[in-house]
Amino acid sequence: MESSGEYAKRVLRKYEFKTKKSLGQNFLVDDGAIDRIISYVPEGSAVLEIGPGIGLLTRRLVERAGRVTAVEIDGKLCEILNEELGSEVLKVIDADIMVTDIDAILPEKSIAVANIPYYITTPIILKILTSSDMIEGALLTIQKEAADKVAAAPGERGYGILSLISSIYSEPEILFNISREAFIPQPKVESSVVRFNKKKPELPVGERDLIRVIKTSFGKRRKTIVNSLSGLYAGDKDRLKKLLEEEGIDPMARPETLGIHEFETITGIIKAADKLGRP
């Protein structure tokens, strides 16, 4: 098999393809990094590849996996994938993953594999973790800064919505980092490969209610928790402050210092006041 660098040069030249910055097209061409990613994909498994590009990971996945469903937003790349890598194992779908019903396109439980464009990292992670029963895990190459946010604990730099959602729906693990030199064209940032082992949330409150409280809290990040959430609470701010104090939560704390259990408690307080509607 030709090296990833050779494959990329040949395909880009053959099809006169120019990468689109607007779609965040940075192709991983380092064979060592690709080998490490592939090693975490169980042999014979079903894979959902998001944004396969010219097929640098795809050509290795079709050898290792039992089935690969590749969703690509760029129609020209879909043509390239089918011509270069077409096989019974591979199904290429010309679509935007953000508006695609994942459960409708997957015939069986699958692992999501992707080199995610930096500009859409958080929305894709949230979609993979929260909107599909057919995805049982994910292996994602993302911006290192985003990976640090995924793994951040309360009070640490970057801790926020992505950290909380990731911990609710999965057990995330940063596997290794990838230098910017491993991509063409070369991005301005380093990347990390993160494995998300999905789990079924066991929550004392409704998922939608909890997510809304979390998003509302971090939407006003510089405010204290009592000020951020007073609009969701049916009573007055002083009453909310008292209830938080009774539960051992500092009403003057900022959201980035609170863990998942505190947010569950806060959700219960607000829900009890019957002001929390559906998102």
Q: Kindly list the distances between the CA atom of residue 52 and the CA atoms of 2, 10, 62, 214, 272, in Å, as whole numbers in the listed order.
A: 18, 17, 12, 32, 46
C-alpha to C-alpha distance for 117 and 145, rounded to whole angstroms? 13
Q: Which amino acid is present at 61?
A: L
The tens digit of pLDDT for each residue in 62-75 reads 999 999 999 999 99
CB within 8 Å of 232: residues ≥ 6 apart: 212, 213, 216, 270, 275, 276
The tens digit of pLDDT for each residue in 224-272 reads 999 998 888 877 888 889 999 999 999 999 999 999 999 999 999 988 8
pTM, two decimal places: 0.90
Reduced to 3 states (helix: H, G, I; strand: E, B; else coil), residue 15 is coil
The tens digit of pLDDT for each residue in 150-189 reads 999 999 999 999 999 999 999 999 999 999 999 999 998 9
Count the alpha carbons within 13 Å of 10 in the hemisphere toward its beta carbon: 10
